Amino acid sequence: MDPFVAEQAAHIAARAERDLEALVAVSSPSGDVRAADECAAVAAALAPEEAVAERVPCSSPAHADDLVLRVTGTGRGRALLLGHLDTVVAHAAHRPLHVHGDRLVGSGSVDMKGGDVLALGVLRALARRPTDFGQVALLLVVDEEWRTAPFGHADRFAGWDACLCFEAGQIGPGGAEAVVARRKAAGTVRVRAHGRAAHAGSAPDRGANALLALAAAAQAVAACHDPEGPRHRSAVPTVVRSGEAFKVVPAEGELTCDVRADDLAAIEEVLAAVPGELDGARLETDQLRRWPGMDSSAAVGPLLERAGAALGRRLHAGARGGASDASHFAPSIPLTVDGLGPRGGAAHNPDEYVARDSIAPRAEIALALTLAALDAL
């Protein structure tokens, strides 16, 4: 293994558990301004002293500012490291980090504060060798888990040499460590039903039942589900709300669905599949969230070869269905790679964890890939 990679990755791994404990200790659900500010302060404290911290406007209204940590070198390459500080876990359900066998269990540990810790470690390592790059920036956003607004940072880093996102890592074919080169597009489809109220006992047929209309809409969405098909589309109704009194025909309601596919056009087809009217109830369909897909497979191949040579082992380029902010950068930064974080599991679950034995090898991979992207290997 490249001596610099081996030495610095060992330093990253040695303090990763302690750094992760500090980040997970802050309960930071999306939308909580105070929590986001506290989490950003912890991240800035873990950054190298050479880093210049800047708070920049978040993509989502009424959120705390996002955090950018920049280190300037004397070389030429520019690499963006990417992560998020928010979680899906509410304060009441938050769990501080604790060790359970071979796992580090805690809220947001694998999605994605474990990746944030490795990104901060890579930033510290690069600060020790400033001749290898012109500029490296770590962008940590505070709204990734619940964002429905357009992403606001792509233009800020357009034209940079590489974007490296630190969502959780994974294993590829034959047990080889893998990174993510392809992600599905993601959309949140909303259906609002506008019916007519009536007495459910004495005059039910005078109403237009919004709940039944939404049930039909849910079936129409579910009929588009075809994950093994040519466009790998998943279409899943997830939340429904309708009705305010048990003896009244529901006049209003709302259905939310999660839809993912290889491209956004396949998601828009799902909207078209929902009828505009059903038994007198009008259905209004729109797309709350619109995240592009990502496919960096062609650009990533040579990068993995260079990084693999420095590591002394093979790396695999894989795919993942979940959405990531990396997808927003891929159109303007062709060399975009995701999945550089530690491995783990149970994301968005009370038992969410980072696998302790993955930290050291994933630190090596993250540092080697970053150096390879900067053409410093």
Handedness of CA 44, 324, 176, 20 (dihedral sign): positive
- The domains of the chain, with CATH numbers, are 3-183+293-373 (3.40.630.10), 185-290 (3.30.70.360)
SS3 208: strand
Instruction: Give, to the nearest 10 degrees, the angle between helix 114-127 and helix 33-46.
Output: 40
DSSP β-bridge partners for residue 182: 295, 319
| DSSP string covering 214-274 | HHHHHHHHHTT-BTTSTT-BEEEEEEEEE-SSTTB---EEEEEEEEEESSHHHHHHHHHHS
Phi, psi of 134 (to 5 degrees): -90, -45
Cα-Cα-Cα-Cα torsion 163, 165, 170, 176, nearest 10 degrees, comes to 30
Nearest to 350 by CA among 32, 142, 86, 87: 87
Give helix 114-127 / helix 3-24 axis angle, nearest 10°.
Answer: 140
Tokens of 195: 């019916």
Residue 29 DSSP one-character state = B
| Residue 377 pLDDT | 79
User: What is the pTM for the complete model shown?
Assistant: 0.92
pLDDT digits (tens, 9 = 90+) for 150-180: 999 999 999 999 999 999 999 998 888 999 9
List C-alpha distances in Å: 126 to 59, 65, 260, 297.
28, 25, 36, 26
Average pLDDT over residues 343-363: 96
Helices assigned H by DSSP within the chain: 3-24, 33-46, 114-127, 210-222, 264-273, 297-311, 326-329, 359-373
Lowest-confidence pick of 108-112, 296-300, 369-373: 296-300
Which residue, 373, 305, 288, is CA-closest to 338?
373
Query: For residue 73, what are the contacts with CB-CB under 8 A and spacing of at least 6?
Result: 126, 129, 130, 131, 132, 133, 134, 135, 136
* DSSP 3-state of 199: strand
Fill in the amino acid letter for 326. Answer: A
Mean pLDDT value of segment 281-304? 94
Q: Is the per-residue pLDDT at 322 higher than 90?
A: no
CA 90 to chain centre: 18
* 126-143 tens-digit pLDDT: 999 999 999 999 999 999
70-129: pLDDT as tens digits: 999 999 999 999 999 999 999 999 999 999 999 999 999 999 999 999 999 999 999 999
Of the candidates 330, 248, 257, the one whose C-alpha atom is nearest the C-alpha of residue 289 is 257
Q: What pLDDT band is residue 254 in, cutting at 50, 70 and 90?
A: very high
Would the pLDDT of 323 be above 90?
no
Q: Is the dihedral of CA 339, 341, 344, 348 positive or negative?
A: negative
Q: Looking at residues 328-350, what average pLDDT do you find?
A: 95
